[in-house]
Structure 1
Amino acid sequence: MEAMILVTGATGTIGSEVVRQLVARGEKVRALTRDPGRAVMPEGVEVVRGDFLDQPSLEAALAGVDAAFLVGVLGPEDGGRDVRLIELTRAAGVRRIVKLSAIGTGEPEFGRFGTWHLPGEQALRSSSDVEWTILRPSSFASNTLGWAQALAAGQPVPNMTGEGRQGVVDPRDVAEVAVAALTDARHAGRTYTLTGPAAITVDDQAAALAEVLGRPVETITPSRDQLRDQLSASGLSEQAVEGVLGGLEFARGGGNTTVTDDVREALGRPARSYREWAEAHKGVFAGG
């Protein structure tokens, strides 16, 4: 029987790319989303409704699943849902689990942000009955998609981390490692810290994007109060806002400069650069 792979967070940045790559490989995919009617998926994907607060919906989605890509609830509002999702996945007999975590998890210097995925990671590592893999990506190159509106209006783009350098990673690489781990047992028991090939600043990203677009991309650095207002306006709770601000300040101070070769180790090729990501997404910014 053909193996069924469940992808949670199937409409998100990484989940949607995991679905696309699995389908391209000919895998049997079930996509979990809270609103199947609005989900746009490749042909052949089984789309099911599921909510982390609705256990029966999760149990139904997990029925007959052989491998699962788990995207937990990020932030202080988790309330143990990440751990319960892992427990439900194990109870359903899923033999292979890949968890999307975050760089710095479990490291005290990362502050609150470093604790958000820790319970889920610990629950997974204690699972002797499954093949597990944990992915800890750095800052996503796709975060700069939010610049499109400012560029279209002829405005500078926000620089949230000042002169802080980060190992900005292409989400396609993260998804490709996830797909490899979902389909190949040799990744079992591994924790991959996934980064791009170099630690770069926001200004470095703006310069690369400017070269791709053939026009200037200027940046502006918001104050902490401005950042807090923007994050609060996005609907985040006060706890989540403080956690994100702490992570941004940590990066701004040069704390997130980690660069690894884990993409190459997992995939046998080097990680894509931000410039490569920008080339592939040039059309998003072309109208500006």
Structure 2
Amino acid sequence: MKTLIIGGTGTVGTQVVKYMLQAKQPIRLLTTSVHKAARLPVYVDPYVANLDEPETLTKAFVGIDKVFLLNPQGHTEVEQAINAVNAAQKAGVSKIVYQSIHRVRQGAHIPHFQTKIAIEEAIMASGLNYTFVCPNNFYQNDFWFKDAVSAYGIYPQPYGEAGLSRVDVRDIAEAAVKALFNSEYDGLSIPLAGPEALTGEDTAAILSEELGFKVNYGGNDLAAWAAQAKLILPAWIVDDWVQMYQFFQEKGLVATASDLQLLTHVLGRAPRSYAAFVREYAPVFQPESVTV
């Protein structure tokens, strides 16, 4: 039987697919796009369906034993996930691994944290066997800021000085795949975090050290950040993220020793560091005139 990957064409999902293929596990990938389906790796079974249209999901779950669920932030996020959970129940799926957020209940006032909590509760109430994988802020989010870093020497993500235990997306994917096939993690929330709590200034300092030119932290002015962000993102997302960054600035989101102990056990090694991430992807952040 196959594993159904929902959300398999995004930042995390593509890495989940990669680890599944490396493990030689048969997978089906649900996508809303015929064009994306046509571009999937040859060993992936594509299925075009829509989480907003539950009638399209029934056949997608035929022959499915396990499900990885990652549905994007959106106005129907909870309903989409519940549609997937209902289809999984009807199909007799043995396990669902859902991507939530690290220590999500600490930020329960943040809209997209609220949706993750609602989905977790729906999965727990469903009677399905489950594991939640719960990542902190992604290192790979910094690819969005590569132009600010390379052209202006500014790191603009305004997460402040309280500290974030940021994480490499590849660690998230590897942990998710291990959770799918290891009953040891049934019923658990696995924290996905990096080995150190980083401030905005720490991040800029690491970028400076690893890239060989000065990078400054852009600061904590959320009104200024929101004004710029609304030029390229929907206002409702920016307003949500302002609440998230305010929470990060005031409280941080820092992994405990027990969080890191569990994650190290799941991975079989320490999680990747931010410095190692920047070192590996240094060419992405270099000015165009610099040859690396």
1:5 aligned residue: 3
Aligned ranges 1:50-65 → 2 under 5 Å: 50-65=49-64
CA distances 1:136-164 after superposition (whole Å, capped 9, x unpaired): 11111111111212234234231311223
Judge which range, 213-222 or 84-93, deviates more: 213-222
CA deviations 1:185-218 (Å, max 9, x no partner) are 2211111121111111122222222222222222
Equivalent position of 1:251 in the other structure: 248
Of residues 219-228 and 157-166 in structure 1, the stretch that sits farther from structure 2 once superposed is 219-228
Instruction: Decide which moves more: 257-266 or 246-255.
Output: 257-266
Deviates more, 1:136-145 or 1:74-83: 74-83
Q: Distance in 2 between matches of 1:68 and 1:221?
A: 40
Is the 1:23–1:42 Cα contact (8 Å) retained in structure 2? no
Per the TM alignment, residue 267 of structure 1 is displaced from its structure 2 partner at its CA by 2.0
Quote how far apart the aligned CAs of 1:76 are: 4.8
Q: Is the 8 A contact 2:159 2:220 kept in 1?
A: no
Distance 1:118 1:104 in 2: 10
1:97 and 2:96 matched: yes
Query: 1:96: how far off?
Result: 1.2
Mark the CA change 1:92 to 1:235 in structure 2 (over 3 Å): closer, same or farther.
farther
Stretches of structure 1 lacking an aligned partner (at least 5 in a row): none
- Amino acid of the structure 2 residue aligned with 1:254: K
Farther-moved stretch of structure 1 (119-128 vs 138-147): 119-128
Amino acid at match of 2:249: R
User: Which position in structure 1 is the counterpart of 2:231?
Assistant: 233
Greater alpha carbon shift after TM alignment, 105-114 vs 195-204: 105-114
2 CA distance for matches of 1:77 and 1:254?
28
Per-residue Cα deviation, 1:232-270 (whole angstroms, up to 9, x for no partner): 3334353x4332111100101133223421311322221
3-state secondary structure, aligned to 2:93: coil
> Which residue pairs with 2:185 in the alignment?
187
The one-character-per-residue Cα deviations of 1:23-44 (angstroms, maximum 9, x if unpaired) are 0111111122222413543331
The CA RMSD over aligned residues, in Å, is 2.1
1:223 partner letter:
D
Q: Name the stretch that deviates more: 225-234 or 49-58.
A: 225-234
Cα 1:210–1:118 change in 2 (3 A) is same
Going from structure 1 to structure 2, the CA distance change for 1:237 and 1:78 (only over 3 Å counts) comes to: farther
In 1, Cα distance between equivalents of 2:201 and 2:173: 26
Tell me how many residue pairs correspond in the alignment.
284
Residue 81 of structure 2 is aligned to residue 82 of structure 1: yes
Q: CA deviation at 1:75?
A: 4.8
Partner Cα distance (1:151, 1:73) in 2: 27
**For residue 143 of structure 1, what is the amino acid of its counterpart?**
N
Whichever residue aligns with residue 31 of structure 2, its letter is: T
Q: Distance in 2 between matches of 1:221 and 1:132?
A: 39
Deviating above 6 A after TM superposition, structure 1's stretches of 4 or more consecutive aligned residues are: none
**Counterpart residue type for residue 21 of structure 1:** Y
Letter of the 1:199 partner, please give it: A
1:169 pairs, out of 167, 170, 174, with 167
The DSSP-based 3-state class of the residue aligned with 2:60 is helix
Structure 1 SS opposite 2:152: coil
Shift of 1:275: 1.2
Give the superposition deviation at 1:90.
1.8
For 1:147, the aligned partner's letter is F
Following TM superposition, by how much is the alpha carbon of 1:77 offset from its aligned partner in structure 2, in angstroms? 4.2
Alpha-carbon distance in structure 2 between the residues aligned to 1:77 and 1:231: 22
Letter in 1 for 2:94: R
Q: Secondary structure in 1 aligned to 2:8? A: coil
Residue by residue, what CA displacement relative to the aligned partner does 1:81-114 show, whole Å, maximum 9, x if unpaired?
Answer: 2222212222222111100011232336654343
SS in 2 for 1:133: strand
